[in-house]
């Protein structure tokens, strides 16, 4: 009889036992030998099972994916002529894309949501079906689901999985909840247009967004937080606060940094440079274009050509740089390297360009041109653990500096059951994976291991930071690469005097400057800490009588390298105070006749109010201490 180990406890079970027989009402899916499966999965042999609840990231994905199917089911019942596209879970909820003769309206959303609750209350079993691919193609062709047919025709596997609830059926890998009745409370949030597969040359579809939770209380809390998130939207705050703009005339996904944004950007870059100097990195700068043959050699041209800007020049092709790594390899190979020269840490704030489809662009979070805080470490196998440990320690210092108090660490490793999908032999994968694990253990960091999520050329660590609203953002990546050193013949002379392939580690702390600033705007709600605030102090004379005194204070603060604004506009003081609040300036110095006579300033701090009158020397001491502490 099979032995099943569930959440660490061993059970001897009969063949044919289902995982759901061991689950509570709170558990909605399972990880079977590392693979995410439905609770209805049957146990046939010895295995390890981890039960998954909504509280986990995987649980949320299963829950929201199942609700997306519930949405599609309701839409098909109300509007049978609709064609189904795709409906995945996303970071916060789910969406489903539909091809309909007209855009959906708010009134439609009310009807659809009501029908979703009706289908939920039917408590229909959600069944997993395995079908031969040609049979599935014929099924969806008969149903008139042209988008499903297109997806199926691109799948290489001979068999595919479908999910059925009542008379509704959809192409899907799953897993899903056991039944529609397991879905608690949900709400449809909005409708937007979306091109099929993000390609503006393809049909425009109607995308319905939604969210769901096990309880109504959780849904209500989310809706409150969503409203707060809307108030923090970087696409609104950024232009309003003079940080960045995007101009239609310039092209989609291309950022123009405004003066306040340049202050923030430079401070972020200067801190990055300062910390990397301390960590022993050496800086380089590579060109914005290069011969296409360089990316042919790296393999990028074969895999990413559709996302690259390529243009003819003379009798060959050139590429606008989509990534920095090939240039870093050229620098490494430009000299003969010995084991004594390693580790070599090359860092670059390198601007790259990728032809992202318009349908996936999103403010600063997804753009066509961005600056990677990129670095590559070239080292020996023996140096791997120390180098990875150093990168993670560096990343954690950065998170603390910017006020990210919570984070999650993911370890992406290869699928042990499909090793043929990955480049490199067992020995090098074991070295890399064990090196990452040892580094995380050395730092006593908890992590989630994700089998099968490594890219084909190496395992990686991802650090996800949680912002002030509890949303997760993937920032730091530490990625092994067995592909590029081999393609470029990147070697070093080892202790035995022999040539040996170098170990290459990609890593980024911010990810990209653009995306990181977008995240920061929303994390702080535009209220940047003093050290990052574009304008740190506003000087507000009560009347023109204090203008000269205001200029002397302005000069004194500027000599102390503070970013200061003297507001001499012919407006009432209350209006100028409100304006400084709207511009989210951390400190205001109010100066009237008394302050001028006593050579003091009346200090007002944003969100704290009046701090009283004090000499300028005391104010400077206070503000320097605050800047030194950063976040």
Return the pLDDT at 24: 86
Q: What is the 3-state secondary structure (H, E, C) of 454-478?
A: CECCECEEEEEEECCCCCEEEEEEE
Q: How confident is the model at residue 240 (pLDDT cuts 50, 70, 90)?
A: very high
Average pLDDT on 123-135 reads: 96
Model confidence at 22: pLDDT above 90? no
Q: Note if 372 is an active site residue.
A: yes
Model confidence at 502: pLDDT above 70? yes
Which listed residue (372, 383, 479, 546) is catalytic?
372
CA atoms of 341 and 248, how far apart (whole Å) = 48
Alpha helices in 480-527 (DSSP H): 484-488, 513-524
Return the pLDDT at 60: 95
Q: How confident is the model at residue 550 (pLDDT cuts 50, 70, 90)?
A: very high
Q: Tell me: the pLDDT tens digits for 27-57?
A: 999 988 888 999 988 887 888 888 989 999 8
Q: Is 234 labelled a binding residue?
A: no
Model confidence at 423: pLDDT above 80? no
Contact 212, 65 (CB under 8 A): no
Contact 59, 28 (CB under 8 A): yes
Q: Tell me: the pLDDT tens digits for 247-288?
A: 999 999 999 999 999 999 999 999 999 999 999 999 999 999
For residue 9, report the phi and psi dihedrals to the nearest 5 degrees.
-105, 140
Residue whose structure tokens are 């204070």: 553
Domains contained in the chain, CATH given: 3-53 (3.10.20.30), 57-229 (3.30.980.10), 244-286+324-524 (3.30.930.10), 537-629 (3.40.50.800)
In whole angstroms, how far apart are CA 75 and each of 81, 92, 150, 580? Answer: 10, 21, 21, 49
Percent of the chain whose predicted confidence (pLDDT) is above 70: 100
Percent of the chain whose predicted confidence (pLDDT) is above 90: 81
Return the pLDDT at 163: 97
Which listed residue (232, 354, 464, 583) is catalytic?
354
3-state secondary structure of 352: strand
- Tell me the chain's radius of gyration from C-alpha atoms: 28
Which listed residue (300, 325, 479, 596) is catalytic?
325
Return the pLDDT at 45: 82
Closest CA to 222 of 54, 386, 371, 71: 54
Q: How confident is the model at residue 66 (pLDDT cuts 50, 70, 90)?
A: very high
Average pLDDT along the chain: 93
Within 10 angstroms of residue 524's Cβ, the number of other Cβ atoms is: 20
Residue 96 β-bridge partners: 208
Closest CA to 289 of 266, 269, 312, 273: 312
The token pair at 553 is 């204070």
Contact 383, 504 (CB under 8 A): no
Return the pLDDT at 631: 63
Within 10 angstroms of residue 327's Cβ, the number of other Cβ atoms is: 22
For residues 20 and 479, the model is more confident at: 479
Closest CA to 539 of 524, 558, 560, 559: 558
Closest CA to 449 of 411, 407, 408: 411
Q: Note if 506 is an active site residue.
A: yes
CA atoms of 560 and 548, how far apart (whole Å) = 19
Q: Tell me: the pLDDT tens digits for 172-209?
A: 998 999 999 999 999 999 999 988 988 888 999 999 99
Model confidence at 304: pLDDT above 90? no
Model confidence at 5: pLDDT above 90? no
What is the bridge-based pairing of β-strands 282-283 and 344-353? parallel
3-state secondary structure of 114: helix
Which listed residue (376, 414, 507, 600) is catalytic?
376
Q: How confident is the model at residue 451 (pLDDT cuts 50, 70, 90)?
A: confident
Long-range CB contact pairs, 107-116, < 8 A, 24+:
108/191, 109/188, 109/191, 109/208, 111/78, 112/71, 112/74, 112/75, 112/78, 112/188, 112/208, 113/74, 113/186, 113/187, 113/188, 115/74, 115/77, 115/78, 116/70, 116/71, 116/73, 116/74, 116/186, 116/188
Q: Is 300 labelled a binding residue?
A: no
Return the pLDDT at 46: 82
In whole angstroms, how far apart are CA 492 and each of 28, 266, 337, 378, 505? Answer: 51, 36, 5, 10, 15
Which listed residue (374, 462, 467, 567) is catalytic?
374
CA atoms of 86 and 148, how far apart (whole Å) = 8
Q: How confident is the model at residue 147 (pLDDT cuts 50, 70, 90)?
A: very high
Give this prediction's pTM: 0.82
Long-range CB contact pairs, 148-151, < 8 A, 24+:
148/84, 151/86
Q: Quick one: 614 exposed, middle or buried, by C-beta within 10 A (0-12, 13-18, 19+)?
A: middle
CA atoms of 454 and 505, how far apart (whole Å) = 14
Contact 610, 577 (CB under 8 A): no
In whole angstroms, how far apart are CA 170 and each of 76, 86, 301, 602? Answer: 11, 9, 35, 66
Length of the chain counted residue by residue = 631
Contact 464, 426 (CB under 8 A): no
Q: Note if 460 is an active site residue.
A: yes
Q: Quick one: 281 exposed, middle or buried, by C-beta within 10 A (0-12, 13-18, 19+)?
A: buried
Closest CA to 84 of 158, 187, 163: 163
Q: Tell me: the pLDDT tens digits for 580-625?
A: 999 999 999 999 999 999 999 999 999 899 999 999 999 999 999 9
Helix (H) or strand (E) holding 342: none
Q: Is 379 labelled a binding residue?
A: no
């Amino acid at each position: 009889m099979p032995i099943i180990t569930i959440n660490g406890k061993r059970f001897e079970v009969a063949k044919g036992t289902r995982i759901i027989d061991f689950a509570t009402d709170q558990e909605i899916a399972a990880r079977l030998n590392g693979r995410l499966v439905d609770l209805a999965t049957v146990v046939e042999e010895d295995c390890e099972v981890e039960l998954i609840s909504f509280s986990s990231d995987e649980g949320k994905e299963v829950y929201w994916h199942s609700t997306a199917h519930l949405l599609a089911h309701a839409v098909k019942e109300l509007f049978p002529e609709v064609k189904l596209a795709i409906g995945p879970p996303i970071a916060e909820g789910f969406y489903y894309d539909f091809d309909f003769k007209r855009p959906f309206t708010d009134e439609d959303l009310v009807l659809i949501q009501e029908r979703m609750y009706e289908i939920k209350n039917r408590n229909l079993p959600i069944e997993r079906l395995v079908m031969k691919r040609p049979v599935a193609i014929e099924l969806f062709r008969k149903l008139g689901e042209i988008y499903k047919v297109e997806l199926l025709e691109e799948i290489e596997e001979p068999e595919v999985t479908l999910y059925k609830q009542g008379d509704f059926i959809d192409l899907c890998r799953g897993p899903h909840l056991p039944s529609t009745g397991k879905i608690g409370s949900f709400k449809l949030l909005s409708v937007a247009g979306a091109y099929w597969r993000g390609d503006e040359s393809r049909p425009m579809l109607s995308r319905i967004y939604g969210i769901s939770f096990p309880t109504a209380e959780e849904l209500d809390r989310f809706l409150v937080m969503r409203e707060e998130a809307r108030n923090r939207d970087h696409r609104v705050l950024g232009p309003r606060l003079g940080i960045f703009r995007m101009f239609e005339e310039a092209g989609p996904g291309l950022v123009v940094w405004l003066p306040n944004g340049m202050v923030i950007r430079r401070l972020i870059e200067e801190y990055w440079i300062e910390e990397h100097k301390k960590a022993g990195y050496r800086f380089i700068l590579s060109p914005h274009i290069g011969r296409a043959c360089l990316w042919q050699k790296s393999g990028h041209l074969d895999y990413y050509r559709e996302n690259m800007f390529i243009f003819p020049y003379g009798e060959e092709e050139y590429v606008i740089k989509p990534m920095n790594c090939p240039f870093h390899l050229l620098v490494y190979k430009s000299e003969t390297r010995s084991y004594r020269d390693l580790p070599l840490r090359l860092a670059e704030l390198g601007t790259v360009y990728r032809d992202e489809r318009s349908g996936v662009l999103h403010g600063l979070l997804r753009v066509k041109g961005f600056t990677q805080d990129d670095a590559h470490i070239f080292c020996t196998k023996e140096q791997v653990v120390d180098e990875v440990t150093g990168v993670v320690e560096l990343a954690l210092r950065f998170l603390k500096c910017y006020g990210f108090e919570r984070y999650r660490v993911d370890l992406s490793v290869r699928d042990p059951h499909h090793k043929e999908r990955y480049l490199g032999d067992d020995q090098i994968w074991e070295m890399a994976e064990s090196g990452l694990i040892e580094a995380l253990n050395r730092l006593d960091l908890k992590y989630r291991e994700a089998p099968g999520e490594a890219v084909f050329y190496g395992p990686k660590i991802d650090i996800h930071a949680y912002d002030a609203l509890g949303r997760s953002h993937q920032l730091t990546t530490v990625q092994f690469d067995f592909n590029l050193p081999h393609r470029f013949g990147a070697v070093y002379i080892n202790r035995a005097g022999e040539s040996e392939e170098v170990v290459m580690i990609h890593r980024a702390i911010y990810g990209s400057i653009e995306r990181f600033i977008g995240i920061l705007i929303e994390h702080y709600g535009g209220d940047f800490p003093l050290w990052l605030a574009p304008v740190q102090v506003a000087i507000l004379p009560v009347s023109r009588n204090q203008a000269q005194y205001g200029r002397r204070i302005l000069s004194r603060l500027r000599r102390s390298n503070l970013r200061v604004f003297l507001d001499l506009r012919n407006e009432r003081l209350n209006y100028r105070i409100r304006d400084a609040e709207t511009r989210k300036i951390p400190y205001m110095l109010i100066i009237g006749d008394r302050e001028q006579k006593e050579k003091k300033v009346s200090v007002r701090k944003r969100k704290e109010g009046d701090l009283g009158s004090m000499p300028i020397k005391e104010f400077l001491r206070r503000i320097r201490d605050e800047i030194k502490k950063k976040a």
